[in-house]
Amino acid sequence: MATFSTCLWFDGNADEAVAFYLSFFPNSRRLSSLDYGPDMPYQEGTTLVVHFELDGRPFLALNAGPQYEFNPAISLVLTCTTQEEIDFYWNHLLDGGSPVQCGWLVDRFGVSWQVVPVQLDALMSSSDVDAANRVAQAMMKMVKLDIAQLEAAVAS
């Protein structure tokens, strides 16, 4: 059976990025790495790839240079069960990064993240169309998502 993982392209700072993510995601680990060899585009011994897991999910960090940069067309969605989880991951990922809107942020490495509550899909797909619209309107006004405010929008 085929498998897949997410490859993240970095400009020389893959080791730093992996160490950053591993510092706060539970059940995460660096699995292996491969260095550039002789006659390759970067200095021999520089990290080429790092295989790692974030909460058991496979990723690959590639040190490949400045040719490409991350953009929000692709983001990592982090679904949280509590406001405490949202706050925890938001604060860690935002360290050195920048907030966007609607639960989105860009971390210090340029990777776009969506930090969202697990309840969001149910709230926005409610059979009560007016309530779902109020939730969407409340979310559009937020930067970091607030579960209590989203749930309150249903009742208002």
Query: Measured between alpha carbons, how far is 3 from 154 in angstroms, rounded to an integer?
Result: 40
- Would you say 87 and 118 are in contact if contact means Cβ atoms under 8 Å apart? no
- Picking from 17, 139, 25, 152, the residue whose alpha carbon sits closest to that of residue 85 is 25
CATH 3.10.180.10 fits 70-156, yes or no: yes
> Does the pTM exceed 0.85?
yes
How many other CB atoms sit within 10 Å of the CB of residue 19? Answer: 13
**Within its chain, how far is the Cα of 5 from the centroid?**
14
- Would you say 34 and 85 are in contact if contact means Cβ atoms under 8 Å apart? no
For residue 74, give both structure tokens: 């692709």
- Classify 50 as helix, strand or coil: strand
For residue 53, give both structure tokens: 């897991």
**Within its chain, how far is the Cα of 62 from the centroid?**
16
Domain boundaries, the chain: 1-68, 70-156
Question: What is the b/e burial string over 45-70, where b = at least 16 CB atoms within 10 angstroms of the residue's CB?
Answer: eebbbbbbbbeeeebbbbbbeeeeeb
The class of domain 1-68 in CATH terms is: alpha beta
Report the DSSP pairing between strands 112-117 and 75-80: parallel
Query: Measured between alpha carbons, how far is 39 from 37 in angstroms, rounded to an integer?
Result: 6
* pLDDT (0 to 100) of residue 48: 97
Query: Measured between alpha carbons, how far is 105 from 98 in angstroms, rounded to an integer?
Result: 6
* pLDDT (0 to 100) of residue 126: 87
Same fold, 1-68 and 70-156: yes
Per-block mean pLDDT, blocks of 10 residues, the chain (156 long)? 94 97 98 96 94 97 95 96 98 98 98 97 92 96 98 91
